[in-house]
Amino acid sequence: MTLGELFTFVSGLYFRGKLAYARAFSTPPFDVSGSFVITASAGLLAPETVVTLERLREMAANDIDAGEPRYRAPLDRDCHLLLERLGGVCDIVLLGSIATSKYVEPLLQIFQDRLLFPMEFVGRGDMSRGGLMLRSVEGGKELVYAPVLNAIRRGPKPPKLVPSAIRRSKSAFESAARDPE
């Protein structure tokens, strides 16, 4: 099983939204992957990375905490390598949580003002961000990015998302199936 499939199974809508969004809108240069998964002990891995049960256990045995060396050392290593490979060619977009330091702190130290996030994430929880990214892919419209550095990353909860076209058509189909006339 790939890391992307595994995380999609574990976190459902949220990770599915991340993967779909990254696949739709990332424009990586050269031979760099368009997206990476931040892991608890293996740094950055492409979602296509095949993971065994043993490898999963190794990764799960560690906390994702900005002060945890077993998390930070591999993450810092991979971020520095990525920065070196990218040179000055592109920015880095964080599709994870922007409200906590566990991702933001390590990434900001390395990527600085090149680290961006979707502004629409402010005030949203995981599931809402996942739904937002899926709707963005469905509509073919990329979200608006802002630098994480000095950004307001916490805010009031935005209004609920309007149901997606896929969900609306499914609801209409279910209604028609119940009441065919």
Higher pLDDT, 85 or 152: 85
pLDDT for the residue numbered 166: 54
Residue 108: name the closest of 148, 144, 141, 142 by CA. 148
Residue 135 to residues 38, 77, 161, 162, Cα–Cα distance (Å): 23, 34, 9, 9
- For the stretch 69-100, pLDDT in tens is 999 999 999 999 999 988 877 889 999 888 88
Edge-to-edge strands, sheet with 115-118: 92-93, 115-118, 145-147
pLDDT for the residue numbered 87: 81
